[in-house]
Amino acid sequence: MIVSVNGDSQEVMENASVADLLQLLELNAAHVAVEVNRELIPREQHQQYRLSAGDQLEIVTLVGGG
pLDDT tens-digit map of 8-66: 999 999 999 999 999 999 999 999 999 999 999 999 999 999 999 999 999 998 777 66
Residue 11 · residue 54 · CB < 8 Å: no
Domains of the chain: 2-61 (3.10.20.30)
3-class DSSP state of 29:
helix
What is the pLDDT, as a whole number, of residue 66? 61
pTM: 0.91
Q: Phi/psi of residue 21, each to 5°? A: -65, -45
